[in-house]
Amino acid sequence: MRTRYFNPEWIQAMMNEGYSGARYISNKFVSYLWGWQVTSPATVENWMWDEVVNTYIKDQYNIGVDEWLSSGNNAYSMTSITGTLLTAAYNGYWQTDQATLRMVANTWAKMIIENGVACCDCSCGNIAMMEWVTQYINPDLLAQVKSQIYTATGYEGFAPSTPVNPNQPVQPTQPGQPSEPGQSEESASSNAGSTPGELQVSAATTPGDEGSQSSQAHEINPVNQQSSSQNTGMPIVATLAVIALVCLLAVGYFYRGRKQI
């Protein structure tokens, strides 16, 4: 690692290769380092991740590798490198300070904002890590990077918040507050369990009417009582009519029988 991946001469030779050199650094070095970390943790030490930061993000040799990795199509390699570092920290393999985490997280966020997500899990597929890393991103970048991730993943946790429209009426949340113009929640709830005829009476109320709840309840209750009396009265009248008809028929048969005798 010292003679190749952390060697400024080797890095400059990769920089001369353009995008293929950037891809080799991110895919053949940093991604492979993460693979070794997961499959054989004893082979990867904490200082190796520290040197990735010092060499490729802080540019400790002053060869311009950080700017080179952040320009053009190379930016996807920088997204992969910083995302892999964040993944190592999220999983507890890489131990570092808060300032370094913020620097790596903000570099990762800027790359995504300027270029979109990369095709690696570290900027598109690892939702848990990306939610965790938002705590280290500057507030002025957070909304933009969330928007990019939401566009790529459709995950609701990164959905932009909907601005409140002052001209749009807000649904009431307090009890007793009118849910519609001229209609209280109490009358609305009573209408929910009423018959269609009762709803018709309530709907006939003028939209601009600001009557009290008691007056509206008084306006609806007589209809309920009248409807109730009608509903109970009709079966009684019908029953009495049937009984009377049966009695008349019985009397008729009785007199007819006596005439025949």
CA dist 49 and 26 (Å) reads: 13
* Residue 169, in any domain of the structure: no
Res 8: pLDDT: 97
Helices (H), 16-115: 19-23, 31-39, 46-52, 65-69, 75-90, 98-115
* Residue 164, in any domain of the structure: no
Q: Which residues of the chain have pLDDT under 70?
A: 123, 162-235, 237, 251, 253-261
What's the domain count of the chain? 3
Specify whether 81 is located in the same domain as 120. yes
Specify whether 133 is located in the same domain as 189. no
Q: Look up residue 29 and give its two tokens.
A: 């070095």
* Residue 20, in any domain of the structure: yes
* Residue 1, in any domain of the structure: no
Specify whether 27 is located in the same domain as 118. yes
* Residue 228, in any domain of the structure: no
Q: Look up residue 43 and give its two tokens.
A: 């082979």
Specify whether 187 is located in the same domain as 257. no
Specify whether 109 is located in the same domain as 145. yes
Contacts of 168 (CB under 8 A, 6+ apart): none
Short-list 225, 179, 235, CA closest to 201: 225
* Residue 117, in any domain of the structure: yes
Q: Look up residue 258 and give its two tokens.
A: 């006596």
| Helix, strand and coil in the chain, % to nearest 5 | 70, 0, 30
Specify whether 25 is located in the same domain as 145. yes
Q: Look up residue 133 and give its two tokens.
A: 């890393």
* Residue 226, in any domain of the structure: no
SS3 180: strand
* Residue 120, in any domain of the structure: yes
Res 238: pLDDT: 73
Specify whether 205 is located in the same domain as 237. no
In contact, 33 and 44? CB cutoff 8 Å: yes
Specify whether 140 is located in the same domain as 198. no
CA dist 248 and 214 (Å) reads: 51
Specify whether 154 is located in the same domain as 183. no
Helices (H), 154-205: 185-192, 196-203
For residue range 188-246, list pLDDT tens digits in order: 444 444 444 443 333 333 334 444 443 343 444 444 444 444 454 556 767 777 787 77
Q: Look up residue 77 and give its two tokens.
A: 């390699």
Domain with 207 in it:
177-221
Angle at 72 between CA 69 and CA 74, to 5 degrees: 35
Specify whether 53 is located in the same domain as 105. yes
pTM, full prediction:
0.61
Res 84: pLDDT: 96
